[in-house]
Chains A and B, each alone.
Chain A
Amino acid sequence: MSAVPGVKQSADGQSAKVNRRDTVIQLRSKLMSGRHVSFLSFLVMFAIWVVATTPLLGAPMVSPVFLPSPQSVVMTFLKLAQEGYQGKSLLYHYGASMFRFFSSFIGCVLLGVPIGLMMGMFRIVRAALDPPIEFTRPIPKLALLPLFVVWFGIGEFSKIFMISFTLFPIISISAMEAVKSVSLRKIQAAKSLGASDATIFWRILLPGSLPGIFTGLRVSVGLGVSMLVGAEMVATSSGVAFMALSASDFLQTNIVLVGVTILAVTGYLLDLLVRVIEKVVVHWSGRE
């Protein structure tokens, strides 16, 4: 039973349960007010943006080259959506970025989760794979991009590889930790019920690891989207991040902000999607 701060754990289970339910309700109401505060903070930021960029008395406080007004960003977005950027439609750029992100993300899940689980279950696999993963993890991946271009050419693969280089360790290590955290008691219970090793894997270890795996997925969704900026920095003429980066060369700040906003909204929506799936798939998580 997890200790909830501020709640005295009582020795008898029943009232501890009631206490915990109370705390959950309290926490939930706190979250509600937390959500209001978040919304307020968003409004304040937006208001500052509007005030700083609107020509109230003569020129706006901040020049549009540094920070364009919200209206002009929206106008630019609509214009880009109609006319495209550098001869390609906005949807094409978005598709190119999403293709890179999803190829990398799906590839890393398909490869990283099984490898991570194996590392968690077999000491020998962990001994073999832990050093390369731990060694490459702290390397700034951007620094390696030129190298990847030399190795894999200027095509899609070097970009997908660079994003994967960031996501793979997160996904595999979270899967490894997740499977290690499945309680011995549940495994023992399954064994004494006559379960084979295969049954223990499919019905105990794998479902027991899902909460931890989902945590890794959420972290890597956010990181993967932000890694697009790195991946589309060189040797490409497509992608939302490319659009933002090349527009900044020409001081087209409007377009930069459109690109950044598209990436931010995408990252947020993907995170939300993973969270919704998580809630359905690992409904028991945190409720034991």
Chain B
Amino acid sequence: MSLVAFDLSGPSRLENMELVVDGASKVFGAGESAVTALTPISLAIGAGEFLSIVGPSGCGKSTLLNLIAGFETPSSGEIRLDGKTVTRPGAERGVVFQQGSLFPWMTVLDNVSFGPISRGVPKAEAREKAMQFIDLVHLSAFASRYPYELSGGMQQRVGIARALANEPRMLLMDEPFASLDQQTREILQFEIKRIWQRTKTTIFWITHSIDEALFLSTHVAVMSARPGRIKKAFASEFFASDDPMVGSTQAFTEAKREVTMVLHEESMKSSKQEEQR
């Protein structure tokens, strides 16, 4: 079990991987008031990989996710999925938000079958598919409930099932567990790991928690303070551990220390930026 420095944007990766961020940057506004959210970033994610992004708040993590999701277009460079340039949101990139993205006027079943039905899958078939994924997140008993009748953790499960029901190539997750309490969070971390291993979906994961990143992912990237870029990236092996207590092993603690040091430096810069504003 170890953590090693890793180049996410090596030439061979940029050519061959499933998702490629190729020198993508994002500038908001123009002229004097222009704010550079992301300096040109390059990284590649291979099929079945689980990449976690950690970084100080305001570093542009979410902007990066918005670019990959197609909610925003890069100011320079491009994003490619299977060699095709991303220009708009698409069902092959499922997005799970932090909270508030479920449709409260629809039942759990209608939320989860929304994707397949939108893509033209016949209703009965879409509902059957939705039920499979509701089952996968252990919410079968709640299929006909409305989101507001569920706890925060259950709502996030619905969000995950909804994204999965389209059987996307990759899942983009923007701090999906940030608003949950620690226990619910830990349970859902195990669940997402199980789902990832079972569906082999590629995952792009944004988080504040280094523990979470190390526990779940094959790769961890630390972003710099704004303007955001990849400060350092690692390949991690802890995800493969069967030990539920892997978090308290010495190797894990050392790995955490290493990532924390990189992140801490950037967080300090970031909070200085905040003070100057």
Contact = CB atoms under 8 A, between A and B. Distances in A.
Interface string A172-205: 0000000000010110111111111001000110
A194 B70 CA distance: 12
A237 to B, nearest CB: 47
A195 B105 contact: no
Contacts, number: 96
A283 interface: yes
A185 B101 contact: yes
Contact of A13 (B90, B91, B114, B180): B180
B118 interface: yes
A194 B148 contact: no
Interface size class of B (residues with CB under 8 A): 35 or more
Given A189-B101, A193-B94, A195-B118, A284 B89 contact: no
A188 B95 contact: yes
Contacts of B275: none
A185 B100 contact: yes
A188 B114 contact: no
Contacts of B102: 189
A284 B148 contact: yes
Interface residues of A, number: 28
Interface string B118-134: 11000000000000000
B114 A203 contact: yes
A193 to B, nearest CB: 4
A208 B103 CA distance: 8
B12 interface: no
A188 B89 contact: yes
B103 A193 contact: no
B248 interface: no
Nearest to B92: A194
Interface in B195-252: none
Given A188-B89, A193-B94, A287-B148, A203 B69 contact: no
Contacts of A249: none
Contacts of A283: 146
- Sorted from nearest, which 10 A-B pairs have the closest CB atoms? A194-B91, A13-B152, A193-B115, A284-B104, A12-B181, A191-B89, A287-B148, A195-B118, A189-B101, A192-B89
Given A17-B152, A193-B91, A194-B91, 8 more contacts: A186-B101, A189-B101, A189-B162, A190-B103, A192-B71, A192-B90, A207-B105, A284-B146
17 contacts: A13-B151, A13-B152, A14-B180, A185-B101, A188-B69, A189-B101, A191-B88, A192-B90, A193-B94, A193-B114, A203-B106, A204-B103, A208-B105, A284-B104, A284-B105, A284-B146, A288-B148
